[in-house]
Structures are given as structure tokens and as C-alpha cells.
Amino acid sequence: MKRSVPAVLALLTAAILLWGCGGYAQSGSTKVTVSVGSVASAAAVGPRAPTIPSEVASLRLTVSSTATPADMTPTVDTLTVTPGVTTYDLEVTVPNGSRLFLLEAFDSTSALCYRGRATMVLTGGTASVTIQMSADVIPPSVLSVSPVSGATGVAVSSAVTVTFTEAMDATTVNGSTFTVAAGGTPVPGTIGCSGATATFTPTGSLNASTTYSGTVTTGAEDLAGNAIASDYTWSFTTGTATATVSAPAFSPVSGAYASAQSVTLLTATPGASIRYTTDGSTPTSTTGTVYTTVPIAVSATTTINAIAYLAGSADSAVTSGTYTIAVTFSQSDLAGTWDYVFFVIGRYAGWERGTAIIDGSGGVTVTSTLDSTGDNTVPTGPIIETISSTGVVSESGSGGTSSFHGQMSSNKQLVFGTAPRITDNTVTLRVFRKRTGTTFNPADLQNQTFTFHGLRSGTDNSWNYGTGTTDASGAVTLTSEIGPAGPLTPGTAGTLSVSPEGIVTVSDDNTWYGLMTDDKTVIFKIDGSVSDGSYGFHVIMVTGQTYYQSDYAGIYNWSVIRNRVPNPVWAYGVSSVDAAGTGTYLSYTDSGGGATPANYTRVLSASGVVTDPADATAHGQMSYNKDITVRTNTNASGWYGIVIGFKQ
């Protein structure tokens, strides 16, 4: 414990000065000496003789804590003024900390005639504080309120205002001193105070046909530090809402489906907004995810709860829809036109892109192709694609790659997987996207925020990730970029374009080629040229969604490739992740015949960023519709890799 140190408190020319000396010791105390002299008018300037006005009969000094909760018991010391005595000294010992000094002067009838206060932190160090004694000792009062006391039929969109008899100290009119409640339950909102008027603005609409009480407590003070004499409380009652917002409707309707669904939410009330949840909680007009025009991707059994709301109207009832997804796959799911991008790592690093038609028997006809060397020769040997009931895609035929292991997404619009060629020390990551009739247009790429995660091959085998934006023309600005060694200077970027079929290109790089998903929130792209020997694969995801840890829960099919030099590696499998982010491998296969790894943890941020507490290099993103994940990292062996996962 530090020893007490002396201080002087003097009332001179309408001021109190506090002086201290010694070292800092928050747990110690300060000895304060009060020296009392004249009380000057606010206009007084310069020193005055230390005399006490004749009407002052006693003085009182109150020292209290400004901390919450208080860390000291208030101390009160008084002294009686004898006519003709020019100065008085009063010594008090005050615990160190943030303290409020309140000095009051009373006349012979004990009426308060002068008052002043100041706040300072006592630490034992040298300090000073000035308290201006003022003749304003009249407490403020409430002049009027709105809605008025006893009012009925008050609009549910109303703000609540209090007008005082004088200007108030805005710092004392806050959520602790000005409250609105219904049945004892506080209403959330914000408070502003300007001059003599304080306004409480509810976060959302008030409830219809409900009695509310407003309270202003004695903690509200005027500019001289005078508090209102007693708590002021009044009440009012809201009217019946002019209308109730129409409850959200779901399309398609809830039920059991054999494939993933894209759920649209609609309300018949013009101008109304919708919020929804998928974690079992109940949405309100202020909680839950705001629904936009982008459908909700449901790839696993999910219950959606939704509410519609509009200022000035009563919120709708909460509607729920449970979608049971029991996806099974058949050969017919492969039939159609598919665009594809292949990313090759290892000895023959590069890329390939094109379009193919698969018939009902799995026969593949490649209608166009191009690889990073410029070769556009269409394969001549037969290629046969087959799919299991669980969505595993394999390839056969003299023109195919028998080592290919693919997985179809639960919405049956994507296939991804790996195709190793051991004799060539080459691994290919393949992504196929089915043409479903969706039409794409330039607006799909404009005024967006996005993340990107990618892996390179050839002369550069590292990963990178970052963020960016597009403007109203589709011009790209990269705002951040990170590589294995840390932050990078973001590279240049051109302007994005998209064909009606969803092929994305960029103005400043004719090797840049991407496939946009049907929900228009993910792009799988390749780039790079023989001239610089560096090739890239990136997954670009539109951001702006709100995520919860429970959004990660589900079953995932995943594939990973890693740039081990000179022999690249791959792995694929199925994992189950619970609502807390704990992952368990249900199946696991890798190029080295390795054992199934231990359980893992994935942490999902509110912006959809995926991290691994056990791996500081790992960084990923969940897609806007929460059905695709991508992640880059450096494993324990120092190999750079990228992982793509589809939620079942």
C-alpha cells in the first residue's frame, strides 16, 4: 500500500484548486485539504481576497466515485462559517481513483445558494482541478413529453421525446437515465439529447395496442450539475396497427425433395422486408439474416423461419418451412451440356477449358476445348461418365482418365474432383458446371464485394487469398492480398464481362476464364500462359451475407490438391461437421495411402471467413448461399494446397 500524499483544495476567486504530489498508486489515498475563500460571479476575472460572502453560513464537501460500480463509499464533510472569519481549512482523506468533488454553500436557513463540482482522477501524482461555484442551484424539471401522458392510439412508429425546462448535460441523458419499457421489459433503441430536448428512437416499431412507460431518473442533470428532483414517469398506449404485414411465403413449398433446392421468400406487402434464420432461432424485425433477391440454397435438411416487417405496420407472424433433402443421383443427372475448367499441377502444369455434351448413357462429346499451350484438338477416343447413387462420378473409355474421382453437388449443377496421372507426376483439379437455362448478364458482376482463394502452379506454386470490389461497370479493384509469406501488394485487375451462358472473362488477360454458378455468387476460374510459366486456379465468392457458426454444420464432399515438388499430391473424402465446428472424417483417400486424419475444428465468422485454430496458415470462405467452401493453407510438410467442399 502506498502512503497517503498531501493535496490542497482551495476556493479562491470562485475556484477550487486541487494540488497533489508523490508517485502513482491507484490503491493508495490522497490527503485533501480544503481552503475556503470568496465566491465570485461568473464574470469575475483575476485574484480576489479570501473572504466569504455574508450570506454563506455553512459549506459541505461531498466526494464520491464516478466508477460503475462505485469503488468507494461517498464521504461528506461540512464546516460552519463564523462571520468575520476569512478562511477555513478542512482535511479529508480520499481513496485514489476517479472522483467527483461536489462543493455546496448554504445560508442560515440551510438553503443552497452556491454550488460547483469537478471530476478528476487521484493517483498520488501532481494534479489540479478547478471548480466554478455557481449561483444556479435550481434543478431542472420535465416541461413536456411526447407522446403525452395517458395518450392512446399512438402510432407504433413514434419516437419518444422529453423536453426539460433548461438545456441538459447530454452525457447524463442516456440509456440508464431515460428508458422506455413495456410491462417492465426495456425497449431497445437509441437516445439523443440536444439542448433541452431528449429523444428516444426505438430500434424497431413499437407493438400495437400496448401500454408503454417512459422514465427519466434523477441521474439526468443540467449544465450546472443540478439533477432533476425526482424520477419522472408517464405512460401511453399504442393504437391498433394500420395493417399487419403479410407473412412470408416459400417457393418451392416446404417438403421432401430428392435434390437441393433454391428457396425464394416473398411477402405480398409492398415495401416490406424479410428476415430469416436457419439455426432454429426465431427471427424478429431486428434479428436474423436480411433476405435479398438471392434465393436461399438448401442442400441438406433445413428449417427456415421467416418474418416480414414494415415501419408503421405490425410485424407478420413467423412462418416456417422444413425442407427434407434426401438426394439420390442417377445417370440422367449427368445428361446435358457442361462447361469445364481443369487446373493442372506438377510436371505438366497448365490448364484446360471447354464445353462438352453428355448423353443419357454417359457418352461425352467435347464440342470445344483449349489448353494453356494453345492446343484446341478435340479428343477422339470415347469418354464415358458414370455416376453412383451417392453422386460419385467416374470416367472410362480410351479417351478418358480412369483415375478421375468426382462428386456431383446436391443441386446437380456442379461436379468437381481430382484426376492424377502418376506416370506424369501430374494432378488435375476438375470443375464442371451444367448449363440449366439460366441467363447471365453484366449486372451479375457489377457493384459487388468478393473474396478470392487460389493456388498457382508452374514457376509459382504458392497459394493466395484476398478481397476486392467491382464498380458499376464491372471494373475490379483488389483491396487486399495475402500469400504464404504475408501481405502482398494487390495485383492489377481489369473489367469483368460475362456471356449469357455464364462464361466470365476479364479485359486485361485473355487467359482468364471463369464459370459462374447458377446462383451467381461463385466463379471458378483459371488463368496463366506458357510465356511466364505460371498458371492459376481461383474460387471467387460474392460476400455480404451474414453467417452463424451453426451454418457450417452438415456433411461435406471435398477434394484437395497440393503442390509437392516434384510429385504433387491429392486427397478426397467425406466429412461431417457439427454446429460447434468440430469435423470428423467419414471417409478419406489420399495419393499416399495415408491414414484417416484426426478430428478438426472450423471456425466460421459472421462474414463467412473460415479459419482453423490449429493451423494459422489456413484461411477460407463460405459461399453466399452457404453450400460451398474453399480453403487454402500450408500443411505440416510445407506443401501449398487448396480444398473445395460441397455441402450435401
204-232 confidence digits (pLDDT tens): 888 888 999 999 999 999 887 889 999 99
The pLDDT mean for the chain works out to 87
Rounded CA separation 500/437 (Å): 9
What does residue 442 show for φ and ψ, rounded to 5 degrees? Answer: -55, -30
Rounded CA separation 305/125 (Å): 59
The listed CATH number (3.90.79.10, 3.20.20.210, 1.10.10.10, 2.40.128.10) that belongs to domain 549-647:
2.40.128.10
Q: Considering only residues 30 and 323, tell me which one the structure prediction assigns the higher pLDDT.
A: 323
- Rg of the chain taking only CA atoms, in angstroms: 36
**What CATH code is assigned to 332-434?**
2.40.128.120
Cell of 396: 472410362
468-502 confidence digits (pLDDT tens): 999 999 999 999 999 999 999 987 789 999 999 99
Alpha carbon 133 to its chain's center: 48
528-577 confidence digits (pLDDT tens): 999 889 999 999 999 999 999 988 988 899 999 999 988 999 999 999 99
Which pLDDT score is estimated for 563? Answer: 95
Rounded CA separation 487/492 (Å): 15
Name, in order, each residue with C-beta under 8 angstroms of 76's C-beta and a sequence gap of 6 or more: 60, 61, 62
Per-residue 3-state assignment (H helix, E strand, C coil) for 331-377: HHHHCEEEEEEEEEEECCCEEEEEEEEECCCCEEEEEEEEECCCCCC
Question: Which is it for the CA torsion 346, 348, 353, 354, positive or negative?
Answer: negative
Rounded CA separation 631/610 (Å): 8
Class of the CATH domain delimited by 5-122:
mainly beta
Question: Which is it for the CA torsion 266, 272, 273, 278, positive or negative?
Answer: negative
What does residue 552 show for φ and ψ, rounded to 5 degrees? Answer: -80, -20
C-alpha torsion angle, residues 366, 371, 376, 380 (rounded to 10): -40
134-150 confidence digits (pLDDT tens): 677 788 999 999 999 99
**Residues facing 244 on adjacent strands:** 314
Note whether 148 and 181 are within 8 A (CB): no
Peptide bond into 147 cis (omega under 30): yes
Instruction: Say whether 332-434 and 5-122 share the same fold.
Output: no
384-416 confidence digits (pLDDT tens): 999 999 999 999 999 999 999 999 998 999 999
Rounded CA separation 420/592 (Å): 12
Which pLDDT score is estimated for 131? Answer: 64
Which pLDDT score is estimated for 554? Answer: 86
Name, in order, each residue with C-beta under 8 angstroms of 529's C-beta and a sequence gap of 6 or more: 372, 511
Cα angle 106, 110, 113 (rounded to 5 degrees) comes to 35
Domain boundaries, the chain: 5-122, 142-237, 250-325, 332-434, 442-447+458-537, 549-647
Instruction: Report the CATH fold assignment for 142-237.
Output: Immunoglobulin-like (2.60.40)
User: SS3 for 444?
Assistant: helix
179-210 confidence digits (pLDDT tens): 999 999 999 999 999 999 999 999 888 888 89
Rounded CA separation 311/241 (Å): 10
Residue 24 pLDDT greater than 70, yes or no: no
